[in-house]
């Protein structure tokens, strides 16, 4: 029987209703989480390692990086077939993507959460964990990177988004759809994530801020980020990546100060591009020193830029080389 190492980090999946506090709070240990899944021992030999027990709004890129280190070390153990991470759903897609950026081995990693607490009626945690362990121990998932596995569907870490604040079918991969599904007797992939790139920063040292373009805003948030010590800024533009023209001079000064500026899009899918030539267009931002990002959400563009600038800080001053890495 294959062995899967389950890292628990917290989230609703490990929460119960607290009468006194009037809401769900962290309450379930890693061991109890696994013990509550009927039939899990028939899927794989499961070893639980508690990493934390927090709501996922407490996760930071540094914690994600440390989690990645712990998982990669565990997966170096010869008898480990794969890993599962239990996680709050709010930032699940960020942790999954950070792990994916750093994951070079063939062994699958599945990040799993739940929309209902362990004490709620029809808690979805046990079924989700069962599927995640099944996928992590499957041959089908090998060599394909990191996944979010919930509601019987398998999503690529790079593509998945939380799309509903409460529904159990919240995770979707807008535009692309899931890569596969987990059934009672099998794991099925209908497509493979392509274009994964793995990075090897020694530490996560770069700080990157996200600034969302909103109608009528100017350069002040950009100026603040630069003054406050950001190494990179992701500007989440409209549609094709266009932004209010009043932000452009701020971008120019940020780039002159050695801060990398990457344009992403507020749109759910698609990539920014220099289709237009008016003030505030991506072409204009590039003339001011910015770099075009790719199809990633702003949150994931931020994580990728953090990882890249941590490994290659010199790229902040090499826009065309940085763009080749960011626009993929
Ligand atoms: N409690 C939230 C979190 O920790 C939501 C969840 O897990 O579903 O992210």
Domains in the chain (CATH in brackets) are 3-189 (3.40.50.1170), 208-326 (3.40.50.40)
Taking the model in full, what pTM does it have? 0.97
Closest atom of ligand 1 relative to the 90 alpha carbon: 9
The region that residue 21 occupies, defined by phi over 0 for left and psi between -120 and 50 for alpha, beta otherwise, is alpha
Q: What is the pLDDT of residues 55-75, one digit of tens each?
A: 999 999 999 999 999 999 999
Q: What is the pLDDT of residues 225-266, one digit of tens each?
A: 999 999 999 999 999 999 999 999 999 999 999 999 999 999
Q: What is the pLDDT of residues 146-155, one digit of tens each?
A: 999 999 999 9
Averaged confidence pLDDT in the chain: 97
Whole-number Å distance between alpha carbons of 309 and 131: 35
Q: What strands, in cross-sheet order, belong to the sheet with 260-265?
A: 208-212, 232-237, 260-265, 291-292
Mean pLDDT of 192-220: 96
Mean pLDDT of 158-176: 97
How would you class 298 by CB atoms within 10 Å of its CB: exposed for 0-12, middle for 13-18, buried for 19 or more? buried
| Side-chain-side CA neighbours of residue 130 (13 Å) | 20
Other C-beta atoms closer than 10 Å to the C-beta of 194 total 8
Pairing of strands 232-237, 208-212: parallel
Three-class SS state of 320: helix
Ligand 1 geometric centre to CA of 188 (Å): 27
Ligand 1 geometric centre to CA of 34 (Å): 18
Rg of the Cα trace of the chain? 20
Whole-number Å distance between alpha carbons of 300 and 258: 22
Whole-number Å distance between alpha carbons of 100 and 328: 15
117 within ligand 1 shell (Cβ under 6 A): no
Ligand 1 geometric centre to CA of 10 (Å): 8
pLDDT at res. 328: 81
Closest atom of ligand 1 relative to the 92 alpha carbon: 9
Q: Is the pLDDT of residue 175 over 90?
A: yes
Q: Above pLDDT 70, what percent of the chain?
A: 100
């Amino acid at each position: 029987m294959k062995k899967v190492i389950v890292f628990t980090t917290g989230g609703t999946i490990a929460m119960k209703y607290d009468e006194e506090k009037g809401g769900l709070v962290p309450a379930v240990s890693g061991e109890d989480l696994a013990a509550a899944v009927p039939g899990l021992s028939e899927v794989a030999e499961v070893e639980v390692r508690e990493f934390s027990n927090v709501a996922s709004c407490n996760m930071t890129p540094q914690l994600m990086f440390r989690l990645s280190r712990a998982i990669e070390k565990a997966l170096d153990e010869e008898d480990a077939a794969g890993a599962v991470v239990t996680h709050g759903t709010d930032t699940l897609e960020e942790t999954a993507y950070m792990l994916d950026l750093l994951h070079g081995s063939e062994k699958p990693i599945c990040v799993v959460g739940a929309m209902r607490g362990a004490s709620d009626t029809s808690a979805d945690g046990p079924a989700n964990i069962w599927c995640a362990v099944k996928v992590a121990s499957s041959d089908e998932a090998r060599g394909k990177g990191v996944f979010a596995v919930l509601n019987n569907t398998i999503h690529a870490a790079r593509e998945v988004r939380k799309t509903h604040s409460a529904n159990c079918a919240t995770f979707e991969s807008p535009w692309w759809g899931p890569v596969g599904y987990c059934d009672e007797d099998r794991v099925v992939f209908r497509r493979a994530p392509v274009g994964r790139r793995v990075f090897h920063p020694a530490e996560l040292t770069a700080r990157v801020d996200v600034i969302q373009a909103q109608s009528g805003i100017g350069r002040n948030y950009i100026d603040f980020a630069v003054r406050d010590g950001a190494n990179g800024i992701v500007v989440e533009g409209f549609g094709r990546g266009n932004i209010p023209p009043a932000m452009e001079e701020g971008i120019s000064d940020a780039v002159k100060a050695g801060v990398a500026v990457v344009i992403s899009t507020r749109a759910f899918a698609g990539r920014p591009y220099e289709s237009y030539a008016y003030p505030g267009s991506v072409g204009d931002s590039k003339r001011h020193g910015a770099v075009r990002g790719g199809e990633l959400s702003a949150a994931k563009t931020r994580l990728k830029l953090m990882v890249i600038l941590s490994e290659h800080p010199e790229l902040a001053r090499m826009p065309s080389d940085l763009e080749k890495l960011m626009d993929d």
